[in-house]
Structure 1
């Protein structure tokens, strides 16, 4: 039961994290919008790099990118909350019930990992050359979140230990 509780609490912690991210991105919209805008404009990459043809300078597209990220984070938060609550509700039930409750958490964590990997490390980091920017480089944070979510996902998918029988 301790492993089940631990897994449930970790999924709820991820849900809390994503809820804070969505809260910050909506209540302080401009701060992280500026991050997205600068990455897409590639205005702080190395001078004279040959990838500048990729830069996007249309504010409407910056807004669409940012709203898409916020929606992605919102869906991840909702799925984590849903899974964590379902896991807590099934904590004392048969292993099959707890396993079913975990599947939504697997989907949520995978969705979160895909966001950090695809949106930040691949698209931002490599396509828009975010790695060249000293000011607008979110690769370390993206990698950190990818690893945290990956560790929780690995732990979540591990089978729960079977209690020894006392004879």
Structure 2
């Protein structure tokens, strides 16, 4: 039972993280919007880099990208919360029952990995060259988030026995 409770608590902790991230981005919209604006504009990357054709300088597109991030965080939080509830309900069941209850948690963890790895590392850091910016570089924070998510994803998906 200890392992099952650990899985539930870790999923809940990440649900809280993703939920707070989305709430913070909604209630203090401007703070991280500026981050998205600078990353997409590529205005703090190395001068004269050959990839400036990728820059997005249209304000509605900055807002659209930011809303995609917020939506990804919120859906992640909802899936993880629902997944933790499903695990809680199945905690006294057989190993097969508990394993089947992992679906929403696995979905939420995968979505969260998508937001922080694909969104920030693939799109932000590599496509928009965020790594070149001293001020608007979110790689370190994103790394911490997606590695925590990945660790929990691996742990949760270890098969449970009776």
Superposition pairs for residues 117-136 of structure 1, below 5 Å? Answer: 117-136=117-136
Q: Deviations over 1:13-35 (max 9, x none)?
A: 11011111011000000001000
TM (normalized to structure 2)? Answer: 0.97
TM (normalized to structure 1)? Answer: 0.94
The answer to whether the 8 A contact 1:76-1:111 is kept is yes
For residue 147 of structure 1, what is the aligned residue in structure 2? Answer: 147
For residue 60 of structure 1, what is the aligned residue in structure 2? Answer: 60
Offset of 1:81 from its aligned partner? 0.2
The answer to whether the 8 A contact 2:18-2:76 is kept is yes
Equivalent residues, number: 162
Superposition pairs for residues 1-167 of structure 1, below 5 Å? Answer: 1-160=1-160
Offset of 1:117 from its aligned partner? 1.6
Stretches of 4+ moved more than 2 A in 1?
A: none
Offset of 1:160 from its aligned partner? 2.7
Distance 1:30 1:16 in 2: 22
Matched residue SS, 1:70: helix
Distance 1:6 1:107 in 2: 18
Distance 1:161 1:148 in 2: 24
The answer to whether the 8 A contact 1:3-1:161 is kept is no
Q: Deviations over 1:57-93 (max 9, x none)?
A: 0000000000011111111000000000111111111
Gaps of 5+ in 1: 163-167
Quick one: structure 1 residues 147 and 119, their matched pair in 2 at CA, closer, same or farther if it must change by over 3 Å? same
Distance 1:92 1:34 in 2: 47
Matched residue SS, 1:104: helix
**RMSD of the TM alignment (CA)?**
1.0
Distance 2:156 2:143 in 1: 20
The answer to whether the 8 A contact 1:130-1:138 is kept is yes
